[in-house]
Amino acid sequence: MKILTASILAATILITDSSLQAQPTAPASFMLCMACHGPDGKGMGAGTPTPMAPPLAGSKLANFGDGELMSSIVFTGIEKQDAKYLGIMAPLGPAMTDAQMAEALSYVRKSFGNNAPVVTADQIKAWREKYNGKPMQKRAALEAKLK
């Protein structure tokens, strides 16, 4: 009984220790993003100094507005224009439901040092109608919108 009580007390101390702030657990819907942006949101390398994709950690895009610009990128993708990143951002809208995309974008907007409002499935549904099937966006134009 003493061992059980001591174990519960130790667990309670660990759980209530404010220095142990838990990161939210990545939802399954984030796995598509993680392939290029990394599990920590810092961007994945590909054995070269040039990253696969930009970091999401501390990203202006992740913290920008209500999430519409970020969702538009997921729907349309970004074409490769220069050598800043290795790949393109493929359109991922068809691969995700509204709920999955809202969950993934909300996770990014609340993780990795970001602190932006969550995105709802209803917002994604409206934005899907607006952006689905549109041509890939250019990174320079997107960066200009963030200034």
Domains, the chain, ranges and CATH?
22-145 (1.10.760.10)
**Alpha carbon distance 27, 133 (integer Å):** 26
Q: Give per-residue pLDDT as tens, 26-77.
A: 889 999 899 899 999 998 887 788 888 999 999 999 999 999 999 999 999 9
Of 106, 89, 99, nearest to 128 by C-alpha is 99
CA angle 115, 40, 34 (to 5 degrees): 105
| pLDDT at 24 > cutoff 70 | no
3-state secondary structure of 43: coil
Determine if the pTM surpasses 0.75.
yes
Total residue count of the chain as it appears in this document: 147
**Alpha carbon distance 116, 67 (integer Å):** 8
Per-residue confidence (pLDDT) for residue 57, from 0 to 100: 96
Per-residue confidence (pLDDT) for residue 125, from 0 to 100: 98
H/E stretch holding 3 reads helix 2-16
If one counts every other C-beta atom within 10 angstroms of the C-beta of residue 119, the result is 24
Q: Give per-residue pLDDT as tens, 103-137.
A: 999 999 999 999 999 999 999 999 999 999 999 99
**Alpha carbon distance 135, 114 (integer Å):** 28
